[in-house]
Amino acid sequence: MIRILFFAGLAETLGRREVDLDYPGQVDVAGVWDRVVGAPRPDRLRCARNQVHCDFGAAVQDGDEVAFFPPVTGG
CATH code (residue 57): 3.10.20.30
| Confidence band, pLDDT 50/70/90 cuts, at residue 74 | low
Torsion angle of the four alpha carbons 17, 44, 42, 47, in this order, in degrees rounded to the nearest 10:
-40
Q: What is the pLDDT of residue 43?
A: 87
Tell me if 29 is assigned to some domain. Answer: yes
Looking at the predicted structure, is the pLDDT value of residue 73 above 80? Answer: no
Q: Could you read off the pLDDT of 8-60 as tens digits, one per residue?
A: 889 998 999 999 999 989 999 999 999 999 999 988 999 999 999 999 999 99
Handedness of CA 20, 41, 17, 71 (dihedral sign): positive
Number of independent structural domains in the chain = 1
What confidence score (pLDDT) does residue 75 get? 57
pLDDT value of residue 71: 79
- Is 75 a member of any domain? no
Residue 50 domain boundaries: 2-64
Q: How many residues does the chain have?
A: 75
> 53 with 46: CB under 8 angstroms?
yes
**Is position 71 within any domain?**
no
